[in-house]
Homo-oligomer: A and B are copies of this chain.
Amino acid sequence: MRVRGKISVPGFLAGGISAGIKHGKDMDLAMIVCQTQAVTAGVFTTNAVKAAHVLLDMERLKRGKCQAILINSGCANACTGKRGLEDARKVSRVAARCLGIPEKLVLVASTGLIGTPLPVEKISRGIKKLVPSLSPDGLSRAARSIMTTDTFPKVVLNKTRDFSIAGIAKGAGMIHPRMATMLCFILTDALIEWEVLKSALRRSVEGSFHRISVDGDMSTNDSVIIMSSGRQPLGKRGIGYFQDSLDEVTFRLSEMIVEDAEGATKKVEIIVKGAATLLDARRVAERIAVSPLVKTAIFGEDPNWGRIMAAIGSSGVQVSQDKIDIFYDKVQVVRHGKRYGGGCEARAKRVLKSDFPRIIVNLNTGKAQLRLLTCDLTEDYIKINAAYHT
């Protein structure tokens, strides 16, 4: 489903350029425009510290309509106070004028360094250059323009008999559920009412972006926005089929974010089974996913399951240590809270040589189950993040 070529969704134009926000000639300004007013829903960061664009978009999305999204990388416009909000409004106004649409129908999104003011002049000049370049197949350029520490653009297209869903996303660090640190924009031509679209998006995010963790940090800018041009009726297969199609897009994009995780050498699937509740399963899975000791052991291809046991026990969930089973893929290493024996570590070590190992924990206390994607923690993560600002 991952695509690198030109893709399009009926009713939408997109594009991306370099506006000089980042150093050098990197692309840093993108726009997605619907040819008519699009039914639009969003899910935003739950961080109490919210970027200006998050506050503005939450307000503007109360009507469920939008026609354009302006996105910049290179500056997060977070922790910038009233001026930040005013700056976000200013650039949305410039975009609205260039497009000849009402300002309230323009959403904005920013990603990059926290704390510096939005370069309004550069962005305004950029918008004037960007608008004439918008085209039906410009989504890949938009995807490249929203990258920060990403090493590849994240674009997905799901073309069904009835409708198309395309999504782009950015994110590689500061990734954790509720929300992951990322931006994601999804376009569809399927005709869907706002309330239905909102709940479909929320449900889809729950199963995808809320199930990945790179480093346990959570950003101020996370936003997932879906726009529907409404050109195609849903068809016989109805909303259930749309939900499945949307889930495929968000799931694949969330996988791509973990595949591009800063410094990571491995994508790791954590499955927690046999929990009393879904919340318990989530807490255990997240605790394992953020443990530096578990993540460094995976980097070292070391089946050091004691660290997984310690993480489970410190999750705050009531567990019986004598019931816990742990597997690396099919290799059992812990049975009833103890070492499984029989050379299991040697076989588990082979599993860990894979670049996509799976850790399965069975708490054996209930029936709830949850899957989370994470990655290993490496020296390159430190290098990337010790040097990011200066």
Contacts and interface: CB of A to CB of B under 8 A. Distances in A.
Interface string A156-199: 00000000000000000110100000000000000000000000
A46 B311 CA distance: 12
A78 interface: yes
Given A78-B310, A378-B386, 16 more contacts: A49-B337, A50-B313, A50-B321, A79-B306, A113-B306, A114-B305, A115-B306, A116-B339, A173-B293, A217-B292, A296-B382, A296-B386, A297-B385, A302-B387, A302-B390, A377-B382
A312 interface: yes
Given A79-B338, A80-B338, A388-B304, A174 B50 contact: no
B339 A381 contact: no
Contact of A79 (B46, B302, B311, B334): B334
Interface string A317-353: 1110110100000000010111100000000010000
A370 to B, nearest CB: 18
A307 interface: yes
Interface in A36-84: 46-50, 76, 78-81, 83-84
A219 interface: yes
A387 to B, nearest CB: 6
B389 A302 contact: yes
A71 to B, nearest CB: 19
A374 interface: no
Interface of A: 46-50, 76, 78-81, 83-84, 113-116, 173-174, 176, 215-220, 290-293, 296-297, 299-300, 302-307, 309-315, 317-319, 321-322, 324, 334, 336-339, 349, 377-379, 381-383, 385-390
15 contacts: A48-B319, A49-B314, A79-B306, A79-B338, A114-B306, A115-B338, A219-B310, A220-B306, A220-B313, A292-B377, A297-B386, A299-B386, A302-B389, A304-B389, A378-B386
